[in-house]
Structure 1
């Protein structure tokens, strides 16, 4: 399936809102625009003021539009892992009284059957992933379309989260004048991008050190298995610096970024810098080591809590170790501090795209990479969340036309020059097919 198209990722963070506009051409994601604005109305990863959050989103979108020279109408939104629950699910439908070929509508219907869950009123289904399909008892099937059977089953993974998070996110995005093309759970998108195939297979821990909170996610067998969210992040480090040094929050944030070290043993006790202290007319000199000790104290608390919860599920025994990302991961010495705390191999992921070489851009970039890599089966399953059959009908029509056209292309025993011409003319249909499939998600929550 050709995934050529335009994708816009929206990362609604506690300290900043990031927008990335990317074009997927033959599997290669090319970033053509970036927006980065200070966040407002967001606390610990959750929108708490819809109006302020919508204004901040709109500012970031306008910035990305200007750089990409396009108008943005729909976005792929990241959903934080706060209070996220992971559980197995299954669904089963009867295809017909007699055997017939399984269609895209059947795939959507069996996914809808798997979504029938008894949930508390405060929770909502966030996403569903298919692990396998079973056709008449034959399991391990990834794409059942075109197969013949009378019974279709789906075994998958269901993700549920608080309704408040989902509602506030939708409302803020819509209030900013945008449509939600799709939603992706933050650590799921990040894990698929920052880890290689071996790390996802054998098991690796992703630790996202964000501004409002820290999230640890375990990826094993290419699936999100465990989530732990610590309600402290980079903002708390900034507040500690502000309180201890008696300086403003803006000044404390600048000190953290310009002179901060995560590991105090790497900071110098001789190198000093001026700090504007409240109530004093002259700046006060502070050493790098003293600032690093303030930063390390808070980071040490965060990492210790994460380790305690990861130990409970024996996640630190996984061979892949830990991958750090998020804005706080940019602090010098973070790798050494985390290695000492977790007792396993640690590396920091930094995007390699020009202009995005900072860990804080990982999530926004991961959103477009993840959604751009979805195949038709993934999209059909996601369409079950909306209750619409439009996507299934369209893909069935396309497959039927392709099947009808197949005998004509096979009829010629010897390839002729005009056959190559016809093949080249047929390629635009493939692009049109993708556009129709992906366009469905422009009205994801409508």
Structure 2
């Protein structure tokens, strides 16, 4: 039986998740799962390599026991913090005297396309080939075996901060593992969670994680834009702890057991006990009061996301919004999001047995994305290992004015660096019928100017 084994590693702020999966006849079967409390990670970033590596080791040991295998190689997710998507292109002469394009030619043209004027603090994380051109004939997905004298490639490179990538790689290696593939999280999720129509016509994917919230825009089967808000489920738990004067452990438990994202759906009459510091007896709290605390923080996150996404007209995309991540498990979250963003919203929950919770969507996406990569995608990605050192003498201004638009390729600090101080949430104004009246013209300009 022809099968392949994949191990996905999700280094989250609140938990480390490991999934062992086997691809058999095109079907992904989950064999084992590890889920341990995360240490040494803050807002999705590793801040203590030793503590993080120990958490990784515990999660991997748990997955090994359940899967009955020994894990060596892992597919690691990289967060979208300060991620940039930039167009690239390269051209080489065919090396083979027969003029038949080989694997080596594909690698050479990929390396040629990766020669970018990157600042020294950034590193290429991934290279995505959109098309190959052989002697002027474009739209080719796999040029191998074709005959020609000149090979071109047009695509995109994804870059990230060297510090983040180094710390992740170091923590994984210190846990005794080999990071065989380092994959951008929004890319993996967008290409696996969204269905074909959502990827084609355009959809916003919002991952409501423990340490931060990430929004991604996928259109024409390509990751076009990402933005990160530095608040997530951890902040909701801290709010509950402070307001109700209870421990973080107790706050997390009541959030999971009784929490609603939308106070409208919570009951005033349904009450539950909670341990309060300084009180000998538990205090009873209503579901509605708890929901008010939760909604206040979720509203803040959605308000900032609304601002970032509406600035690039992403909320006009036909696919609407897909929510995932641990916070997406809160009852009423889709209704609240639909009201705040004024678009259709659905929650993604994996359908695999034992993983039916939105918090498992990321590690499952990592193994699914890697397992479904085509031969040419794997070949292009392998060129990262032998890429030429780039020249760092020129500025990033060389990238401005490309086909994707500045907002797409540069997730600048106004989107990435968010103020963590509590803010008074304000509901974004709905467009209502005004949106409908101008949709045709705006969408036409949107597709032409932004995504084309």
TM range (shorter): 0.7 to 0.9
Q: Does 1:8 align with 2:3?
A: no
The residue that corresponds to 2:174 in the other structure is: 175
Are 1:93 and 1:153, in contact at CA under 8 Å, matched by a contact in 2? Answer: yes
The residue that corresponds to 2:283 in the other structure is: 284
Q: Secondary structure at the match of 2:384?
A: coil
Within 5 A, what are the aligned runs for 1:94-109? Answer: 94-96=93-95, 100-109=99-108
Q: Does 1:340 align with 2:339?
A: yes
Are 2:217 and 2:224, in contact at CA under 8 Å, matched by a contact in 1? Answer: yes
Cα distance change on mapping 1:357 and 1:119 into 2, 3 Å:
same
CA distance in 1, matches of 2:25, 2:372: 11
Q: Secondary structure at the match of 1:148?
A: coil
Displacement of 1:193 in angstroms is: 1.5
CA distance in 1, matches of 2:67, 2:2: 20
The residue that corresponds to 2:446 in the other structure is: none
Give CA deviations for 1:146-190 in whole Å, capped at 9, x if unaligned: 011111000001111100110000000000000011111101111
CA distance in 2, matches of 1:45, 1:284: 34
Cα distance change on mapping 1:206 and 1:97 into 2, 3 Å:
closer
Are 2:208 and 2:328, in contact at CA under 8 Å, matched by a contact in 1? Answer: yes
Q: Secondary structure at the match of 2:386?
A: coil
Are 1:128 and 1:158, in contact at CA under 8 Å, matched by a contact in 2? Answer: yes
Q: Secondary structure at the match of 1:6?
A: strand
Are 1:97 and 1:150, in contact at CA under 8 Å, matched by a contact in 2? Answer: no
TM-score by length of 1: 0.86
For structure 1, the 5+ residue unaligned runs are 390-446
Cα distance change on mapping 1:342 and 1:190 into 2, 3 Å:
same
Are 1:99 and 1:150, in contact at CA under 8 Å, matched by a contact in 2? Answer: no
Displacement of 1:12 in angstroms is: 0.4
Q: Secondary structure at the match of 1:40?
A: coil
Displacement of 1:296 in angstroms is: 0.1
The residue that corresponds to 2:160 in the other structure is: 161
The residue that corresponds to 2:248 in the other structure is: 249
CA distance in 1, matches of 2:367, 2:203: 22
Within 5 A, what are the aligned runs for 1:419-434? Answer: none
Q: Secondary structure at the match of 2:181?
A: strand
CA distance in 1, matches of 2:265, 2:210: 23
The residue that corresponds to 1:185 in the other structure is: 184
Are 1:325 and 1:348, in contact at CA under 8 Å, matched by a contact in 2? Answer: yes
Are 1:98 and 1:150, in contact at CA under 8 Å, matched by a contact in 2? Answer: no
CA distance in 2, matches of 1:190, 1:116: 27
The residue that corresponds to 1:397 in the other structure is: none
Give CA deviations for 1:176-234 in whole Å, capped at 9, x if unaligned: 00001111110111111111101100000100000000000000000000101000000
Displacement of 1:96 in angstroms is: 4.2
Q: Alignment RMSD, CA only?
A: 1.3
Are 1:3 and 1:372, in contact at CA under 8 Å, matched by a contact in 2? Answer: no
Structure 1 stretch 275-284 or stretch 355-364: which is displaced more?
275-284
Cα distance change on mapping 1:35 and 1:248 into 2, 3 Å:
same
Are 2:114 and 2:387, in contact at CA under 8 Å, matched by a contact in 1? Answer: no
Q: Secondary structure at the match of 2:285?
A: strand
Cα distance change on mapping 1:328 and 1:61 into 2, 3 Å:
same
The residue that corresponds to 1:19 in the other structure is: 18
Are 2:95 and 2:105, in contact at CA under 8 Å, matched by a contact in 1? Answer: no
The residue that corresponds to 2:209 in the other structure is: 210
For structure 2, the 5+ residue unaligned runs are 389-452
TM-score by length of 2: 0.85
Are 1:11 and 1:18, in contact at CA under 8 Å, matched by a contact in 2? Answer: yes
The residue that corresponds to 1:89 in the other structure is: 88
Cα distance change on mapping 1:74 and 1:388 into 2, 3 Å:
farther
Displacement of 1:92 in angstroms is: 0.7
Give CA deviations for 1:385-406 in whole Å, capped at 9, x if unaligned: 10189xxxxxxxxxxxxxxxxx
Q: Secondary structure at the match of 2:108?
A: helix
CA distance in 1, matches of 2:70, 2:302: 41
CA distance in 1, matches of 2:175, 2:97: 50
Q: Secondary structure at the match of 2:215?
A: strand
Q: Does 1:267 align with 2:266?
A: yes
The residue that corresponds to 1:426 in the other structure is: none
> After the TM superposition, which segments of 4 or more aligned residues of structure 1 sit over 2 Å from their partners?
96-99
Give CA deviations for 1:106-149 in whole Å, capped at 9, x if unaligned: 00111011111111111111111000000111100000000111
Are 1:3 and 1:27, in contact at CA under 8 Å, matched by a contact in 2? Answer: no
Structure 1 stretch 113-122 or stretch 212-221: which is displaced more?
113-122
Displacement of 1:98 in angstroms is: 6.0
Q: Secondary structure at the match of 1:101?
A: coil
CA distance in 1, matches of 2:191, 2:96: 40
Displacement of 1:4 in angstroms is: 2.9
CA distance in 2, matches of 1:61, 1:186: 19
